[in-house]
Structure 1
Amino acid sequence: MAEFLTDIETLRSRARLEMEKGPVTDAYGADLDRVLQVLNEALATELVCVLRYKRHYYTASGLYSEPVAAEFLEHAGEEQEHADKLAKRIVQLGGEPDFNPDTLTKRSHAQYDESLNLIDMIKEDLVAERVAIASYTEIAKWLGDGDPTTRRVFEDLLAQEEEHADDLRGLLERIPQDQGGL
């Protein structure tokens, strides 16, 4: 049987101290304030992505727009789920999720886009997904073993962002580049 690094009585005693911190114990190895800041930046990124995908869903038009708009709507829903997961983790860590619309785009890693051309919409969404992939990869590496739960949240989001990027790349390959505005 493997031995614990800390004896069980010490673990039990420590668990009773600072109970108001919930899941954040002495074993937490990350910079909590910085983790909360990074989580709130990711939350802003996801919310901006929801808004961008919704805008593209409602404004997509032309010959190829129906399947593309359906993809935009699906991605908007998944980005909202990402935002919800991030907000939940912020609260678990004792922080406050920042939904302030006045500063949302300033905190977001991705940009909002108002393109009206279907090809441009897909390209801008693909750029935003690639930004999220790069950001979330760096964040997961940075978190390492200091906060494995938050790292797994980002790894889960990363997997879906990669899927979104692949979907968008596929759409670009299927739509003639001169047909984006039809």
Structure 2
Amino acid sequence: MGESLALDVERISKEALRTMAAGPAAGASGLDRERVVSVLNDVVATEVVGWLRYTRHAITARRIDRPEVSELFDLRAEQAMRHATAVAERITRLGGRPAFDPDTLAQRAHTDYSVADDPAIRQMLEQNVQASEIAVAAYREITRWLGDRDGDSRRLMESLVADELQYGRALGALLTG
């Protein structure tokens, strides 16, 4: 798990840096709104792909009679959709268009939708811990990039980081408990 995590974090870091590479453009907030919208649309994709993975894992956990795990995955799926909606609303307030195109969601997401045909609970928990760690790394990078130039988007990203950290701790407790 550790080796693939390093590769995934490297990929998301490179993608985030590539998207934000041009730096701030002149404007009222000091950021290029189109670039902010693009970065936030990648967050929407990450959350929607997460919703799909968490929903699938919740259903699988119910099938193998692990209600405490399925409940956590259900809660996280609901949270991921709330995150996607909140970020999409922020994009709209910035004058952009939220990108929910199913054909591009997986390519734009920081995490992936990888589920085994018949995963074990431990494997599902590990996949979601890894996805949470990747999201935290990507979202922290975005938060730093936004800085004080777009306080509303930064605060939104900070709240997503806090939720991801809380979720990661809950998953970790199930893994060690």
Relative to the length of structure 1, the TM-score reads 0.79
Gaps of 5+ in 2: 1-26
Q: Which amino acid aligns with 1:37?
A: S
1:162 matched to which residue of 2?
Answer: 165
- Kindly state the Cα deviation for residue 59 of structure 1 after the two structures are TM-superposed: 1.2
- Hey, what's the Cα distance between the residues in 2 that align with 1:147 and 1:97? 18
2:20 matched to which residue of 1?
Answer: none
1:62 matched to which residue of 2?
Answer: 64
Q: Which amino acid aligns with 1:120?
A: Q
2:133 matched to which residue of 1?
Answer: 130
- Kindly state the Cα deviation for residue 146 of structure 1 after the two structures are TM-superposed: 1.1
- Kindly state the Cα deviation for residue 124 of structure 1 after the two structures are TM-superposed: 0.3
Q: Which amino acid aligns with 1:62?
A: I
Query: Any idea what SS the aligned residue of 2:103 has?
Result: coil
* Cα distance per residue 1:143-173 (max 9 Å; x no partner): 0011111000000111001001111111101
Q: Which amino acid aligns with 1:162?
A: L
Relative to the length of structure 2, the TM-score reads 0.81
2:151 matched to which residue of 1?
Answer: 148
Query: Any idea what SS the aligned residue of 1:145 has?
Result: coil
Alignment map for 1:33-48 (pairs within 5 Å)? 33-48=34-49
Aligned length, in residue pairs: 148
Alignment map for 1:80-99 (pairs within 5 Å)? 80-99=81-100
Q: Which amino acid aligns with 1:98?
A: A
Instruction: Give the superposed CA RMSD.
Output: 1.0
